Amino acid sequence: MAEQGVYFIFITRFLAIAEMISE
């Protein structure tokens, strides 16, 4: 259960970083 929260945060951060790089 807790793992889902960790994965969600990890994916969100990854998307944010990828978005910054794409810009």
Q: Given this model, what pLDDT does residue 18 score?
A: 97
In terms of pTM, does the model score above 0.85? no
The number of residues in the chain equals 23
pLDDT tens per residue across span 1-23: 678 999 999 999 999 999 999 98
How many C-beta atoms lie closer than 10 Å to residue 16's C-beta?
10
**CA distances in angstroms from 21 to 4, 7, 8, 10, 16, listed in the order given:** 26, 21, 20, 16, 9
